[in-house]
Every structure is written in C-alpha cells, then in structure tokens.
A and B are shown apart, each in its own frame.
Chain A
Amino acid sequence: MADVFNWQLGRKMRYRFPEAHPEWQFAAVFNINRCIACQTCSMACKSTWTFSEGQEYMWWNNVETKPYGGYPHQWDVHLLQMLEQVNPGGQTWDAANKDAKTAPYGTYQGMTIFEAAAKQNAGQEALGYLPKDEDWTAPNLYEDTARNGTGDLRRPKPVSLPEHETWFFYLQRICNHCTYPACLAACPRNAIYKRHEDGIVLIDQSRCRGYRKCAEECPYKKPMFRTTTRVSEKCIACYPRIEGADPLSDGVPMETRCMSACVGKIRLQGLARLNSDGTWAEDRSNPLYFLVHVERVALPLYPQFGTGPNVYYIPPRWVPRPYLRQMFGPGVDDAIARYELPSRELTAVLQLFRATRTVIFRYEIQEGPKVRDVTVGGKTWSLYNDTVVGFDKRGREAVRITVMEPFYERPSDRYINSV
C-alpha cells in the first residue's frame, strides 16, 4: 500500500502501488454540449473490436442518457450510494484550497473508492460491485427504451422513473485510462498494466484468468468479462493508432476509432506529457493542456472516485449545477462560465475538434479580423475569424481551419435549377 499524489483531488491518497507515471498520457476532451447521441462512436468501436461471440454486450464506447440512463444501468449512482454508505455525508470538497498545478479544483475531503475499501475492510482494493447480467441490457436506457415495463429483460425495470421533461444530456464514455486504475489495483493476478509510453491501460489477454475483479472494482465499469474466452476485455484505446502503427497513420499518433468517427465533432484526443508526480508538464500549445489546465473548461468524470480519469468533459450548460458538481467536481461553475463566453483563443482551439484524425501535439493561432460584437448576458463578446493550425508529432502541419466556416454565395442568375 502506498501514498500517491492525485492532482485532481489536490491531495495524496492511498493506492495499492507506489507512483510510477508514464512519459505520455492518453487523454481526451469530450464536449458534452455538442453530442447528438448518434452512436456513431459506439458503432465505430464495436465494428472494430467487439463484434464477436462473447462480446455481444460489450460497448467499450457507450453514450448514455443522463440523468436516468447508464450502461451498465445505474453504474454511477450505485457506486455513489456505496461511497455514501461507507462515509455518510463526507464526500465534500474544500474548493477554496486550490493551486493551479496541484489542486486546480480544490481539495477533496471525502473518501476515494480506495480509501472507502480500506475502511470497509471487505477484501477489496477499491470499493465496487459487479453489475448483474440484466444491468447490461439496453445500452441507452431511457433513450432507446423510454417507457414500458413488462419485466422483460429487453425492457428493463425500473420504469416508473419520470421521463426527461426538463433537462437531460448525453454522456459519452470510454475507459478513462486512469492515472491510478482501480482495475489494475483490483487484479489479483497482476494481469493489468499501464503502458509507460502512453499510459494506456490494458488487460494482458495471456495472463487474465477471468476473476472479474477488474469488472467489480473499476468505478466506470469498463472491463467486461467475455464468456467465450473466459477472460476480461476492455477498451484498448485503439493503441495501434496511438502508436502510429496503423497503415493510415503515416507513422504518427492518430486518434482512436471512436474519436475520429464522431459526427457531432465533440471529441478531441491526444497525448499529454507528464511530470514525475503525475501532473501535466507545462505544454502551453498542446490543445489538451490548454483546455484542461489553462482554460479549465474540461473536467474529469467523478474525480472523487480517485482513479484520476483521463477523459475530460466540457459540462453541459443547461444542467442543474448540483448534479454537475457531483459528477465533475467543484470546477463546474468556472468551466461553464469560460465555455459560455469563450476567450478568443478558446474559440479558435474549439475548432480543432474533429478537424483531423492526426493527433495534434501543438497548435498555433494566426489572428484574423473581428467578425462582430455580440452582447451575451449584458457583456460584450467579440468574435474573430482567427485561423488555428495543428501540428503532428513530427511538427508537420496536420490541419488548418478558420473560426468562421468559409462561405460562398452562388450567383442566383446562373444556377436557376439550383444544381
């Protein structure tokens, strides 16, 4: 048992292994505000990795409808409730106790799943539960099966919950390739490892003996047991693409299947360089560093679990704040404020989402003319048509895009039939 530093919580916490951080960390930003739940990402993953027997229920990428949906059903509220039972009323933050590098969201005063497991002393490394078979039915519950309650597994209960009348949003989920993976800590056979080169967390398919402790203790429920091979599998972060080994990648890191397929252009994925204490090394022109550490518009999902998840979310603007604070921590209000009235630089960087499938390691902004001033909430906000240029790992230009969509007006007298 070791004491490790978790910057997302602004403090040290207990973990099975001492700190040993990778050189680079796989990370992504998902802009919840833009997702249309088309599930193209889910299909991109499934049609690449999980279409075989024994993987039927596996959606390494899933998009669920909050607040009532979840895959597996109620994965998050179930665990939140367990945490609450171990440490009643204790899951609070000291949001004032902040530091830009080591405690950007404040200091978490509650218990992580690792600490709760130690308190509970029930033989687990991380507090967790194994979902039931029926929890894996209906991947987008309350979106794809909004009503009906026959007790039939395909139309699962509970069905008496209210429909989404006032607000809802889509939550896109993949494995978080956590800094302190609970799956890895849970594995009694040490079959799970985190790669030094990119922080990707993998289950060694030759070592796993199918104990399902990872499936039980991963808070995000991303390792899944495969009945045909009798071992567990999980999202592999499309590692051949991250390695630049995919034939299409031109030898440089390329975004994963679920990222590059995203129709709503909500996703941007890359690699963050780490310091030896697991904090992100200063990398001002890396778009992920800018979004997570400079603008802080993107926040980790349930940071209080303590695993240090590496997918960061731009929270949905319209959702009640207490709900969002529980889900993304106390950074929510600032993040939404910065997203609603984005800085000139943020406006440009947001254009990089899905502009290329090549991983962008550095961006540059070339200033363009002011387009217009608008008044938002009594404040004046100026829009500029800047150009943002993204560069690949070797420093080659990978993409160039302007804030304003290029606009051409066809002369109406020449194309009468509109063709």
Chain B
Amino acid sequence: MDVGIVSYGAYIPRYRIKPEEIGRVWGVDGKAMGKGLFINQKSVPSPDEDVVTIAAEAARNMMARVPDVDPKDIGAVYVGSESHPYAVKPTATIVAESICATPNMTAADMEFACKAGTAGIQVCMGLVGSGMVRYGVAIGADTSQGAPGDALEYSASAGGAAYLIGSENIIAKINKTLSFTTDTPDFWRREGMPYPKHGGRFTGEPAYFRHVTSAAKMMMEAMGTKPEDYKYAIFHQPNGKFPTRVAAQLGFTNEQIAQGLLTPEIGNTYSGAVPLGLASVLDVAEPGDRIFVTSYGSGAGSDAFDITVTDNIKDYRRENAPTVAQRMAKTVVIDYARYAMFKDKIVMPSSE
C-alpha cells in the first residue's frame, strides 16, 4: 500500500520584527546579527494566537483543500510543538474539535524540540500503513520563545503546517522515512522555565550537522539516490545559515533548497519549520517531482523523507486555501515595545 500526503495546510501569523530593531534595544548590531544568521525578519504571533490557534488554522486550510474527505474518517491527530499552551491538557483535542474530527479517534501531543511535527508524520504513516486508521493528521506548530537579549531572540518565531496522511488520492507518495537519534544535550528547557537554554557553539557540529548529514546520507544510501535526483530539498532551518551550509556539504544546490527555505523571512518556527518548508514546495510542485526532506530536533534527532509528487496533484484543490507565499505577502512590522507587549514580556496588573 502506498502511504503519503493527501492534503496539507499552512499558517504563519501576520506580524514581523526585524533583527536591527531587537539589536537596537539590547545595544547590539542587530543588522550584522541578522546577516550572520541569514534572517531578515521573524514572525510574531498576535496576543490572541498560540499553538492551538496556529495548528487549527493550518488544519482547517488542510481540510479546505479536500472537500470530499469526511473529517469523521480521521482516526488520529498529533500536534508536535515545544510551546503547547497547557503543560497538562492536549493541544490535539482542541485542534481535532476545530476540524470536527472528534470523537472516534485518538490524539496526543508530541514533543521533540524542532522535529515533533515530522515525528507525527512518521506515526501517522505507521497507523495508515498498518490499516489502523484511514487518515491521520500530523501538525508541527510553535510560538517559540527566545530569552530577551539571547541570540535565539533574533530567530525564535511562530507558525505551523498540517498534513493529512493517508493511502487514497495521495498528492505525494512518501517512498521512505528513517531517523538518526542520539542523546545530545544541545538545547533544553526545564519544566516551569519560560525560556530554553542552549549549548552555544555545541549546537552546531555534533548536534545539527551530525544528525542532519547522518540521516540524509542514510536515506540516499537506502534509496540508491544522489542529490541531483531530487528537484527540491528541505532541511531544518533554525536560521538561514545552517540549512544552506548542510545542503552544500551534502551536495545539494541553492536552487534545490530555495523554495523550501523560509527562515530568512519568517524566522525559526521550530516544529513548524520543515512542515512549512515542505508546504511551500508542495505549493508549486508538479507530478513526478522528487522531494528530499530532513528535519532536526535538539536533544537530538533527524527524520528524513523521500517523497514523490503524484498525478493527483493536478486535480488537488490547492486554491481552496492560501499558499505559504500568500501568507508571507501581507505582513505588519512591529517595534520592540509592541513585540514585548504581544509576547507577555511586560508585567500587567493582575485583574484577569
């Protein structure tokens, strides 16, 4: 049985802040910081947005493109995030309710730093492939926080994408998935702490680069493929610099990664990053296009996917929901004061 993507939907909040504005507040050359990270601006959620609302919008966009799919045929909903609004109480149940998929289904929240969304796709593939469910929904979404003044504040942003995984009318077949996972403490956040901590330079070579290149090489070896066999490649993008460098190390060109590289204009959407990059590629993909995907989550692991777009994409109702490019076109740039208010960094009188 072929298992793959039946539909997808993306969501990115409307507000943006620029590195030079963040740097202005902290006495840092933000422009140079942004240049070093390849980040021109990052998305900021509205005060009434969180992972639930972002995941729900992505899921509704996903369902809008497949009007013939009955949401009651969805047997599983997984939301991957490192910024679930509740410590206890699943995001996934709220999102499932918002697409009318409840109650005959299973649901859970996933956590694996920036790769919880792709982990959900793998779980859904297993459930669909084994015949346990007809459709599974996997969502990666985050409203990530960087500590004020920390390097992460220049990149940590918000957004998400949802995938309907199934075996009928798939627009993209997932030929294979595999993972590379180790215990690597490059980035973490303890229970109750508002901001994550990271191992500084340690987050590069032994963490991101080792896991991404290992998973990617394993995949090409398993499939007997070379970088030039793929039309598009999407790598996890904590900034613009890492995916560009890892692509070059593996032998992929800038043309192959351009369509799926969104971080320079929206920042690092964490669990949303690779799912959004893949959504941007599917927005323009044509039958036969082969797509290479490798996510990365600190802690640490990488999930790789080898995907082929099918003829079904010709009849697929992409136009029923906004594309990633359309979501990125209408933005409002805010200053640090408004950003601080939006992100609850200003102490308000307790009257709620």
Asked if A pairs with B, the answer is: no
A interface residues (Cβ-Cβ under 8 A, vs B):
none
